[in-house]
Structures are given as C-alpha cells and as structure tokens.
Amino acid sequence: MSIRRATLAALFVALVSVGAAGCSYATPVATERSYNASDGIVIGVGDVTLSNIALISDDEGDHARLIGQVATSGTKATDVTLTIDGQQPISWSVEPNQPIDLEAPENEHVLTDIGAKPGATLHAKVTADGQTEDQKTIPVIAGHLKEYSSLVPSSEPSSSPATASTETQSPTEAATPSHDAH
C-alpha cells in the first residue's frame, strides 16, 4: 500500500469516527432520559414516590382497583395521602426501604362509582410530610387487557369503608394502608 493510500485511509477512518461521535453529541442518549415505563404515572412529593399509579377498571367504569407502588427514599416513616376526585382519601404510613405494593392482596383498594370508563383520567392530589402535589391525572385502564385481567375488581368492593384514623401504626401495620377507599 502506498503512503498516499495509507494517509487517505487514515483520514477516512478519522472522519468517520468524528462523524459517529457527533451523533451522540447532537442527539441525547436515550438511556440518560428518565421516563415512566408503564401505563401508570409517577408522582413525587419530597422523599415519597408513587410509581406506576393507575386504576384498573371493569368495562363499565363502575369499579376500579388502584395499582402501583408507594415508597420513600427518606430515613423515617412518612404518612402519604392520595385523594382522587370523588373518592375518599387513601392513606399509608411508608417505612424507609419498605415499598408498599398496591397489587398485593393485603394492600388492595377498590374504588366504586368512579364515573370514568377505561381510557379516561381522574384528577388526583398527593400529600406527604406537609407537601402537596396536585393536578395529576391517573389513567383508567381497561381490565380486559391480558396484562391487567387478574387485577379487575369484582362487582363487590373488597375493602371496608374508609375511616379517619390518627393512631400511630407499628412497623408491622405500616405495610398495610390505614384507609380503604370506596
């Protein structure tokens, strides 16, 4: 190979390398962008995060089950309240490093008379440690979809009526909600 050809080949490789590097400079790297990888929404209030929050409803929109997870990255237990328009507030005491899985039977919340069919959204507000995040919209998802079919609420709510409680919960009780919603 001649010196001229070797120089041209090296120049070509250098130009291609610079061009390829320019793509990542001009275009953001997708893995560095935070997004919600589910059908639900994420609501953050201080150290508290409600992840993948959605309502799984029957086709008529009469009943819906709240799904998702409630967690705190803080160092102490945090009282969290979710208020969905037209429903009783739902509250939890969340311990650090002990997320509450709302799909677990012991944490089930079935809402009745939601007045929204699948495809709609309902306005919600979350309060935690005196901070509030409001005007969030929670999606109502059709329960006939295969991935949600096991979460469709029955025609009878499985939760007892919500009651106001100011009692302090023990760590064993903290994993269960202090209010049930209808």
41-174 to CATH, choices 2.60.34, 3.40.50, 3.30.1360, 2.60.40: 2.60.40
Contact 58, 153 (CB under 8 A): yes
Q: What is the residue-wise DSSP string for 47-85? A: TEEEEEEEEEE-TTSSEEEEEEEEEE-SSS-EEEEEEET
Tens digit of pLDDT at every position of the chain (182 positions) = 678 787 877 777 777 776 666 665 666 666 665 555 568 999 999 999 999 999 999 888 888 999 999 999 999 999 999 999 989 999 999 999 999 999 999 999 999 888 899 999 999 999 998 899 888 999 999 988 888 888 888 755 444 333 333 333 333 344 444 444 44
Contact 85, 123 (CB under 8 A): yes
Q: Record the pTM.
A: 0.67
**From CA 58, how far away is CA 151, in angstroms rounded?**
10
Listed by start position, the domains of the chain span: 3-32, 41-174
Report angle CA 118, 120, 125 to the nearest 5 degrees: 120
